[in-house]
Structure 1
């Protein structure tokens, strides 16, 4: 028997409850009993989980919204974490209100607080190309996810995981920003690639120019890349590292379904390989990480690369206590 259609009031009640739970669960004093009550609510109706997931997206997007004047400017000193939580709570509450108030939504757009477009894209078993609402094109590699939000003063993409190649529609007055890990890429119109694995990020520029910062909370515009250059950073880096001789063709080989390993140390190759594995590889020791590997491999068949490693390198495969596959160096005979 199909479930009865909910009334508008019932839908609004679920949305409001999801918003309240989202705000409460992000408070540091949220108790275990409250979390248990939330679990009961979440499992009571499939719509609860869907609405809560939507609220989590709004919470994440609120990290990037323009903030109102800080409390300190009004004579009230608040810790930065408190200011951030207060603003996020306001953003979530405002988003719930805006669902029912088109006029308020228009005002939020004019102030740069609320996007007029918010889309999520993903690629699982195969790569795909998508066109964003602003006309920009994005090629998504296997296992990649991103969201797009269009604000009055900027276009913003968050790369949740994986890799993407961007062809950005030029609009100097409406910059295009890509969030990846703790850093950010700022452009107006160009072609570039962003690769991310865990907290490691690589930005490779094909055409135009971009500004790269390793931490979006730092002041300044970041480091400028020119075509053929690559920036690398990971969480905690004060600044990105610039490589002026990046092999652009190798970095973009995934667009043809290939992974190119150009005589890399295993320690450097593993993040590139692990991007395509459900269960990542790890190294038994630093000596194994110094072994080098090269070749061109099919991104859809990386598991075959893993099984062939003992045939091309002096290594063996084993399992650790957590069940992960470990690469170790075979002892010399």
Structure 2
């Protein structure tokens, strides 16, 4: 999920400020105990009365889902600015201009640091809903899923790719003298020539093979095990060290390349996680049924709105549109 933007530009559009308020709502709800995040939010909401107004409206719309309304009130100085009306806007902004500019710049840098660090390390990146195919110097092809990033080192006897974020499909040129390695988190996949998919999320890493075979070295929390995967097999390990190995049809590996997701007995949360990189906004999912409700079906990634409607009908879940870029999915 993109971080809330901290911007002191007085020409910000109302839509941009509303989007920032929605983003703060998601971030604050995800990290309720993060005091540094709360301080950064306070800087943003008090830096401009339009920010405070957008925040109040966002809370009003989202109030019935009880997100952070009771935890993150509008600071007093922002409330005063709201009540004082537009006649005092320029004076209020002038008083803040020096201090707020520095504070907001620091806030923006802090919030954007994780994405900035990935961007600095990455040789190739994709944006929301963007799919990109890259031909590497050795002739191998990598197809990046949306919101993904890789770094590449192909020189001498090394063919190494680091998946920094997201998902990528690899079609590797055979070279018996130079194994091809993909590192994702603490997992490593080693091949000579094959086709396979690698994922890296906040909760797990996984590999699925569509052609040939790969060797996957799992992290220490999974016992440093090595898994040999032929075509039609997948393995994933979560951050607690739980390993799951499954059969998968080779022609369904990386079906996202055709803009679809095919799931069999997956949780609702996993389906929503697959939709997020394709949705130009934020999807907030809540409720006890996120993990217990199981889903089987085919969904169109290129139309996340329609996919969520289909998911809601199949699972009897509630999808609420709080704004053009914010959806809340409730699974009881």
Question: Which among 223, 228, 234 is matched to residue 224 of structure 1?
Answer: 228
Structure 1 counterpart SS, 2:173: coil
What residue number does 2:21 align with? none
Question: Which among 169, 184, 194 is matched to residue 173 of structure 2?
Answer: 169
The alpha carbon displacement at 1:318 in A equals 5.4
What residue number does 1:272 align with? 274
Structure 2 counterpart SS, 1:271: helix
Structure 1 counterpart SS, 2:178: coil
Question: TM-score under structure 1 normalisation?
Answer: 0.55
Question: Which among 135, 141, 144 is matched to residue 148 of structure 2?
Answer: 144
Q: Any idea what the Cα deviations from partners look like across 1:272-293, whole Å, max 9, x if unmatched?
A: 23343442442311x3532333
1:154 and 1:267 map into 2 onto residues whose CA distance is 37
Structure 2 counterpart SS, 1:317: strand
Unaligned runs of 5+ in 2: 1-101
Higher relative contact order (CA 8 A, sep 6+): 2
CA-based RMSD of the aligned residues comes to 3.6
What residue number does 1:214 align with? 218
1:174 and 1:130 map into 2 onto residues whose CA distance is 19
Aligned residues: 219
Written as runs of structure 1 = structure 2, the 5 A alignment for 1:310-325 is: 310-317=312-319, 325=327
What residue number does 1:250 align with? 252
The alpha carbon displacement at 1:149 in A equals 0.9
1:123 and 1:142 map into 2 onto residues whose CA distance is 5
Question: TM-score under structure 2 normalisation?
Answer: 0.56
Structure 1 counterpart SS, 2:193: coil
Question: Which among 154, 157, 178 is matched to residue 158 of structure 2?
Answer: 154
The alpha carbon displacement at 1:212 in A equals 0.8
Does the aligned pair in 2 maintain the 1:250–1:260 contact within 8 Å?
yes
Question: Which among 116, 122, 127 is matched to residue 125 of structure 2?
Answer: 122
What residue number does 1:77 align with? none
Question: Which among 235, 238, 241 is matched to residue 239 of structure 2?
Answer: 235
What residue number does 1:179 align with? 183
2:264 and 2:271 map into 1 onto residues whose CA distance is 9
Unaligned runs of 5+ in 1: 1-35, 44-48, 58-118
Does the aligned pair in 2 maintain the 1:223–1:240 contact within 8 Å?
no
2:275 and 2:321 map into 1 onto residues whose CA distance is 18
Shift in CA distance, 256/54, structure 1 to aligned 2, threshold 3 Å: closer
Question: Which among 289, 297, 302 is matched to residue 295 of structure 1?
Answer: 297
2:286 aligned with 1:283: yes
Does the aligned pair in 1 maintain the 2:231–2:250 contact within 8 Å?
no
Structure 2 counterpart SS, 1:300: coil
